[in-house]
């Protein structure tokens, strides 16, 4: 993680430049301005950490010297490993002052491991599907803009260079310096002790290993998907910096309502109107289903609101079974457009003198 790259600054930036860059980026990525955006929250924490280190002269100098982020580990001791008390002397430009020698020793206490690989942030979006598509399954194509692995460096943040010896240590991986008869050997800061030339930062992504890319993705909506279900596309979110693991893409499915059916778990509810004489005398009717139509027998004396169950005419479930279709009957009164119809109903009432409210009142009193 290059702190200067995070703030968009050069290494020669002044403290005033650092403050201005921090204020500008903080206003853009602050969590209060981007509620619910995890990528913006992660970016804001990186900006705050970079500002905190670079605005402090001591911590900035340590970072510039070691290239590592963080404070010294209290438990790590500083010793005299690397000193050579042989009689060999070093003269000329390779001879160091005692201040240089001990500065190199104490610098070890502030070195930390290389940047750990950060997992990329997750992405969230939503799609709409019809009721029938949710029941049978469907495919949807999405266009997603995310941070993907840099095409120039493959996500490593560095470009390949010829495998040659380090020019500063002649391929030994260490540099010897000293004053008089006291010799100090330290790891070469230019190759990290490997003795080989370091890889150069990728110019396409400035060494961060990711770039903004817009891609088309296919989302498969499984059969039986319910409204509000969330689908996970592993590794399709933001990619991590310098080869870090990619986050996931979460797709929330919004199912549009159906004009006839209403879903209750894996069952479907269907309200069907019937005439008074059909409910009273009984009949057979055709009711719509997802596969077409089904014949339903209505027994005599059926009441409004009574339900009938058609097995395995509902929604497919994950275990391979199907729910049921529940048909709820609604008795619809006829339109009395002529005197003949009215007289027939009056005659029906005279013949059937039973008071329908007697049982209702007795049931209410019993409760």
| Residues linked to residue 269 through DSSP beta bridges, in sequence order | 262, 326
pLDDT of 271: 95
Scan for tokens 């329908």, then name that residue.
356
pLDDT of 84: 45
Measured CA to CA, the distance from residue 221 to residue 132 in angstroms comes to 12
The 3-class SS string of 189-247 reads CCCCCCCECCCEECCCCCCCCEEEEEEEEEEEECCCCCCCCEEEECCCCCCCHHHCCCC
pLDDT of 363: 60
**218 touches 92 (CB < 8 A):** no
pLDDT of 113: 41
Scan for tokens 């693991």, then name that residue.
245
**165 touches 113 (CB < 8 A):** no
CATH number of 1-71: 1.10.287.110
pLDDT of 101: 44
Task: Centre a 10 Å sphere on the Cβ of residue 310 and count the other Cβ atoms it contains.
Answer: 17
Domains 118-161+202-257 and 261-341 share a fold: yes
CA angle 194, 5, 164 (to 5 degrees): 25
Task: Centre a 10 Å sphere on the Cβ of residue 228 and count the other Cβ atoms it contains.
Answer: 10
pLDDT of 88: 43
Q: The dihedral of CA 9, 11, 13, 17: what is its sign?
A: positive
Which CATH number does the domain 261-341 belong to among 1.20.1050.10, 2.60.260.20, 3.20.20.70, 2.120.10.30?
Answer: 2.60.260.20
CATH number of 118-161+202-257: 2.60.260.20
**φ/ψ bin of 308: left (φ > 0), alpha (ψ from -120 to 50), beta (otherwise):** beta
Question: Of 116, 119, 105, which is closest to residue 72 (Cα–Cα)?
Answer: 105
pLDDT of 284: 94
pLDDT of 366: 53
In angstroms, the first-to-last Cα distance of the chain is: 73
| Residues linked to residue 95 through DSSP beta bridges, in sequence order | 178
pLDDT of 181: 59
pLDDT of 260: 94
| Residues linked to residue 284 through DSSP beta bridges, in sequence order | 297
| Tens of each residue's pLDDT in the chain, 367 residues | 688 888 888 888 899 999 999 888 888 888 777 777 888 888 888 888 889 889 988 888 888 887 666 544 443 333 344 444 443 444 444 444 444 444 444 444 444 444 457 788 999 999 999 999 999 999 999 999 999 999 888 888 877 666 667 777 877 888 877 655 566 778 787 777 777 776 677 888 888 888 999 999 999 999 999 999 999 999 999 998 878 889 999 999 999 999 999 999 999 999 999 999 899 999 999 999 988 899 999 999 999 999 999 999 999 887 778 899 999 999 998 887 788 888 888 888 788 766 656 666 666 555 5
Scan for tokens 């029938």, then name that residue.
132
Residue-range domain boundaries for the chain: 1-71, 75-113+165-198, 118-161+202-257, 261-341
């Amino acid at each position: 993680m290059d702190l200067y790259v995070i703030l968009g600054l050069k290494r020669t930036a002044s403290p005033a430049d650092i403050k201005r860059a921090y204020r500008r980026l903080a206003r853009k990525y602050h969590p209060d301005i981007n509620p619910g955006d995890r990528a913006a929250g992660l970016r804001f924490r990186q900006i705050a950490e970079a500002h905190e280190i670079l605005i402090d002269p001591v911590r900035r100098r340590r970072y510039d010297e070691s290239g590592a982020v963080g404070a010294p580990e209290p438990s790590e001791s500083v010793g005299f490993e690397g000193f050579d008390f042989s009689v060999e002397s070093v003269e000329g430009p390779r001879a160091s002052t005692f201040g240089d020698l001990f500065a190199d020793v104490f610098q070890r206490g502030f070195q930390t491991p290389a940047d750990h690989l950060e997992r990329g942030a997750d992405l969230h979006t939503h799609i709409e599907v019809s009721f029938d598509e949710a029941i049978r399954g469907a495919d949807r194509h999405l266009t997603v803009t995310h941070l993907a692995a840099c095409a120039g460096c493959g996500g490593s943040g560095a470009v390949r260079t010829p495998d040659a010896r380090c020019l500063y240590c002649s391929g030994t991986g260490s540099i010897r310096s000293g004053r008089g008869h006291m010799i100090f050997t330290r790891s070469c800061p230019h190759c990290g002790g490997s003795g080989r030339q370091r890889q150069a930062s990728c110019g396409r992504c400035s060494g961060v290993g990711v770039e903004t890319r817009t891609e088309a993705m296919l989302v498969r909506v499984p059969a039986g998907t319910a409204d509000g279900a969330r689908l996970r596309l592993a590794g399709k979110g933001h990619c991590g910096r310098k080869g870090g693991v990619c986050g996931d893409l979460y797709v929330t499915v919004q199912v549009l309502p159906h004009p006839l059916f209403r879903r209750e778990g894996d069952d479907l509810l269907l309200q069907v109107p019937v005439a008074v004489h059909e409910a009273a005398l009984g009949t057979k009717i055709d009711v719509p289903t997802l596969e077409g139509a089904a014949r339903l027998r209505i027994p005599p004396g059926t009441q409004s609101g009574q339900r009938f169950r058609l097995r395995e005419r509902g929604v497919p479930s994950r275990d391979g079974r199907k729910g049921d279709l529940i048909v709820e009957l609604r008795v619809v009164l006829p339109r009395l457009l002529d005197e003949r119809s009215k007289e027939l109903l009056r005659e029906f009432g005279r013949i059937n003198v039973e008071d329908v409210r007697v049982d209702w009142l007795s049931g209410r009193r019993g409760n």
